[in-house]
Amino acid sequence: MILLNPKYEHLRSFIECIPSQMDREGTYIYGGRRNLIKLFVAPDGTPLNVKRFHEPHFLNKYIYSWGWRVPKGMRAWTYPRILREKGIETPEEVAYVEERHHGLLGLSYFISIQCPYPHRLYEVALNGSSSYDDLAVALGSFTAMMHEREVMHRDFSPGNILWDKLKDGYHFSLVDINRMYFGPVSVEQGCANFVRLWGDKHFFTLLAQAYAKGRGAHEEDCVRMVLKARARFWKKYLRNHEVDFVPDL
């Protein structure tokens, strides 16, 4: 099955071939235990980001196949239009490809336009956050806007927020959006949404202050909630994981 954005109908034949070429063609971006992401360039020069979702295992295969839960790739295909309607940037959806065997979901693919923004939030910690004060304020304001519009990214992590500084200021684009929450977001929930991000206390203090202004909340309360939630998350995470930066807790 292929769902194709009508705007990219001229790329249908190319997109139909992507599943068979995924392992040997394209430029590698990311590969984990479950998913693979590559960059393909279409014949007309369009840069395509292709994410392959692994085949569900055991019970999940039936849960996704029989409609009890929407497959991750299908959610990734559906959500961009919702975000754009709310004024939140995310790469434009191009296609969703689904493989099934005897009616059961196999591999699936979400294809979008490759985001041109060159930065991810990892660099805030890796390069030292002192030079990212303006970014912290902009990110706090952006997140407040998003939460006010009843959208929350459930995997709000450094790799899923692409950004760049353009003439009119900072721009952010959300990726890996198959895990989203749509509905009212309390200030406390919003403050806890920052826990996976990298940076020091100074960066998060500025971020929390900007977030508070955007939500009409007390700055001191938001700073306290952000730092407390962040410390709790990282102390637990570091018991079993190694990271490439030293959390300032």
The model's pLDDT over 189-211, given as tens digits with 9 standing for 90+, comes to 999 999 999 999 999 999 999 99
Please, is 72 exposed, middle or buried when counting C-beta atoms within 10 Å of its C-beta (0-12, 13-18, 19+)? buried
pLDDT at 240 over 80: yes
pLDDT at 88 over 90: yes
Say what the pLDDT of residue 8 is: 98
Rounded average pLDDT over 59-87: 92
Say what the pLDDT of residue 247 is: 84
CA distance 30 to 124: 20
pLDDT in tens, 34-50: 899 999 999 999 999 99
pLDDT at 129 over 80: no
Rounded average pLDDT over 173-180: 97
CB contact at 8 A, 110 and 177:
no
Rounded average pLDDT over 92-120: 96
Say what the pLDDT of residue 25 is: 97
Please, is 156 exposed, middle or buried when counting C-beta atoms within 10 Å of its C-beta (0-12, 13-18, 19+)? buried
CB contact at 8 A, 193 and 153:
yes
Catalogue all structural domains in the chain, each as residue range(s) with its CATH number. 2-113 (3.30.200), 119-237 (1.10.510.10)
Reduced to 3 DSSP states, what percent helix, strand and coil does the chain have, rounded to the nearest 5? 45, 25, 35
Residues 6+ apart with CB under 8 A from 119: 162, 163, 164
Query: Tokens representing 55?
Result: 């085949």
pLDDT at 137 over 90: yes
Rounded mean pLDDT of the chain? 95
Beta bridge partners of 96: 3, 110
CA distance 35 to 176: 11
Rounded average pLDDT over 74-80: 97
